[in-house]
Amino acid sequence: MNSLLLKRILKSTLLLGLLTSFTVSLAASGEATPAPDFTLKSRSGKNIKLSELRGNVVMVNFWASWCGPCRQEMPLLQQLYDRYQGMGFTLLGVNVDEQPAAAQKMLKEIPVDFPILYDSSNKVSKQYQVKAMPSTFMVDRDGNIRHLHQGYKPGYEDDYQQQIRALLKE
C-alpha cells in the first residue's frame, strides 16, 4: 500500500473514533493507571519530560492539524490553560503530524501559548494507545491517568474544568 492510502485509512479510522467519542473516568472505577513517562521536543526546542511535572495536574492532549475537532477545541484549551496554569496545572499539546510544519501552520492560524510537543514518530501516542483525535488524558499530581476523553464535542470543556478543579483540590 502506498503512504497516501495508508493516511486515508488512518484518517477514516480516526473519524470513526470521533463519531463514537466518549469520556472515561478512571477514578470512578477506582483505577489509577500510571501515566507512561515520555520526553518530547517542544516547539521552543526544549525537551519536556512528563515525570518532571509531578506535583502538577497535567492535561495531555493529542491532536493533529488535519483534525477538525482538534481545531475547534484548541482555543478552549487555551482558556483552561490561562485560567488554571498558576494553580498547579499545565497542559501539554502533543502533535502527531508526520511533518511538524503542518502543526506550525495551524498554530499560526490558532495561536496558543501552552507547550506544544512533537510526536511525529507516534511513539508516545502508541504508548498511550491513542485511538481517536483528539485524545485527552488528565494526569493527577502523582502521575496517574485519572480521566480519558476520546474525541471532542462541545461541552467537553466543562467536563475538563470540573476534572481539573477536582484534581487540583486533591
Domain ranges of the chain: 3-169
- pLDDT tens per residue, range 121-134: 999 999 999 999 99
CATH of 3-169, one of 1.10.760.10, 3.40.30.10, 3.40.710.10, 1.20.1050.10: 3.40.30.10
Largest CA distance in the chain: 50
pLDDT of residue 9: 42
CA distance 52 to 119: 18
Mean pLDDT rounded to a whole number for the chain: 87
CA distances to 108, 117, 124 from 128, in Å: 27, 15, 6
How many whole angstroms separate alpha carbon 29 and alpha carbon 119?
Answer: 30
Share of the chain above pLDDT 70, in %: 82
**What average pLDDT score do residues 136-163 get?**
96
Residue 30 has pLDDT above 80, yes or no: no
As a whole number of angstroms, the distance between CA 64 and CA 114 comes to: 16
Decide if 72 contacts 161 (C-beta within 8 A): no
Percent of the chain at pLDDT > 90 equals: 81
Residue 32's pLDDT is: 77
